[in-house]
Structure 1
């Protein structure tokens, strides 16, 4: 029996992004263990109930934290006891600590995989990011048997510059059985259930409330649209450190009736089904699942120009791209879609056709090829 360990900084990352991988491994008779910090109490509704064994290892996202020293020692003990055939690491610090701890195991025949969920160095990134993160990833690629990338820019760079085997897959997969389109009748029923009117204009913005996600831009875009669409509502799904700042922005702009904070939401698929379109204002993304979820739900997307968004959105075909913090452009693109129902529907259908390759079905096939072909 093949024995696989999957690591990441936090357990919520495994829950949100790696169930398809575990299903593929189980289908091939593998035993699957997880090692990550237990943060599930902060993530309402997430359960790590699909692995054979789970280790609570105190990784920290901060490179300066002494917790990572303990995580390294704990992981070394686990590896010496369990003897894995494959160790598959994720997230920056999870990937670094795991590959350091796995040096001896790798010499003894264990294969080490690393999934890069978006390098911190990319076209347009700061010089500091290139000076700090590029040498680190290049060095640790030498401790990696297979590097898996989820966007074409990362794949091209790693394939040309790093000394390891590099693969590309269409992200970590989105559940097509959860995110799908519904009939107009079902949409109206669901709108009523969620407290919206049949004709209300609904925008959905999904993501942790963090500075990088830049939800303030979406709030300010709504301010420019509220006179034309008095009952427009922007739904912000997520929690995080920016919550209070965003709440203050909503009050200051007198938008309490037009922007709703959903918090950490376990039924996002319902909001995707009733939304007219989705917006995303991130400054940086690797390959954003919230965009794929919107597309599978036939929602066109208005999003900011970054590597992950541009990987998914073809300008004018399945959505629109605007510059970060160009509030006027974002409001204009939203207005165009809200006023032109036919264009909105056509873009939504194109979005779904494109997004299917990022669904569970296809991504599982790609993971099978990486592990078993």
Structure 2
């Protein structure tokens, strides 16, 4: 019988977006891969998939049913490793796996950005912090994807047996890469942009945290000085319509292009000149890593994720979310200087070497192998006790 690993998250799309390479890695090691999450996606490298009624809201009654189903699945399947992701996936899996841990199952949890952090609200600290600290005692390995979360977990005495730091979820440097100028022009022609346009790009859901209003107000301050600039906003969300109305009210209809949900980010980024990001809270943002991998300079708000990726004045600028004026100044500085864009873009690519998929796979593989070896040693010990 092959060893089994269970990946658990709130929704199955999370695995399609971020974790297929590690699922493939487990298959290459001869392991059986199971997934438990809400959704009916057909995922590659998965031997068995459980569609659970998990809801994002921690007070939703469906989560009780999801917990009960997950507990039964874990009892029946006898996993060697359970790796959980997302807040609710992490809560339910660790609670459901308590009995399994007593018989040797190892539980790994990746925190993709604690909701409590420097600058977070008192409400976030009072709700999320005690939950995560309590659940850390039910965790064999707590993985953080940024240094701030790692230091917080260590300094606050989280009780996980091991606390590790990996460099995000990895970005495919083959898919996300710069292109030659002739290819950049060809892409622009395909998407109906001029070769002399300056394209700013931001891919994010339209919600309060992503803070699109900052970008629009900053662009409005300089719109008459940078007439050939276009701000491309990819994504959808509850605040899309109000953001469109704001762009119109600020006289930016001709400069701001709402692209909707896109699956061609790997083509839109290389034809762009600058990446911008205005979010209030980030763990380690994939949108910024993809932009850096494509050789773009960044103008972004200050939060733990942005500050880990962007070195002020080297591969971009990191600004207070409240400083609209300075955000506008930094955008204009990059818009007007091709030399500065090239210099900072090169620095972005250099920094991305530690965040690419191969690097992250090696880091995660090292963590997994330590538990695989432990499992193997335990099996050998049981064999010796039984037969020798």
> Who is 1:166 aligned against?
163
Q: What TM-score do you get using the length of structure 2 for normalisation? A: 0.92
Instruction: Give 1:241's match in structure 2, choosing from 234, 238, 243.
Output: 238
Cα distance in 2 for partners of 1:370, 1:63 equals: 29
Partner of 2:127: 132
- Please list, as runs of the form range in 1=range in 2, the aligned pairs for 1:1-373 lying within 5 A after superposition: 1-38=2-39, 48-160=43-155, 161-164=157-160, 165-373=162-370
Answer yes or no: is the 8 Å Cα contact 2:27–2:33 preserved in 1. Answer: yes
Q: Is the 8 A contact 1:20 1:172 kept in 2?
A: no
Unpaired runs of at least 5, structure 2: 371-388
Alpha carbons 2:8, 2:83 under 8 Å: kept: yes
Q: Give, in whole Å, the separation in 2 of the partners of 1:229 and 1:51.
A: 50
Q: CA deviation at 1:39?
A: 7.1
In structure 1, list runs of 5 or more residues that go unmatched: 41-46
Q: Secondary structure at 1:314's aligned position in 2?
A: coil
C-alpha distance in structure 2 between counterparts of 1:368 and 1:49, whole Å: 19
User: 1:231: how far off?
Assistant: 2.8
Between stretches 298-307 and 160-169, larger displacement belongs to 160-169
Distance 1:364 1:295 in 2: 19
Q: How far, CA to CA, are the matches of 2:233 and 2:269 in structure 1?
A: 12
Q: Residue 40 of structure 2 contacts residue 51 of structure 2 at CA under 8 Å; is this kept in 1?
A: no
Pairwise CA RMSD: 1.2
Rounded Cα–Cα distance in structure 1 between residues aligned with 2:289 and 2:109: 22
Measure the CA separation in 2 of the matches of 1:213 and 1:48. 29
Contact 2:226–2:335 (Cα < 8 Å) also in 1:
no
**What do the CA deviations read for 1:95-128 (whole angstroms, capped 9, x no partner)?**
1111111111111111100000011111222222
Give the length in aligned residue pairs.
367
Structure number with greater Rg is: 2
Normalised by the size of structure 1, how large is the TM-score? 0.96
Q: Distance in 2 between matches of 1:218 and 1:52?
A: 44
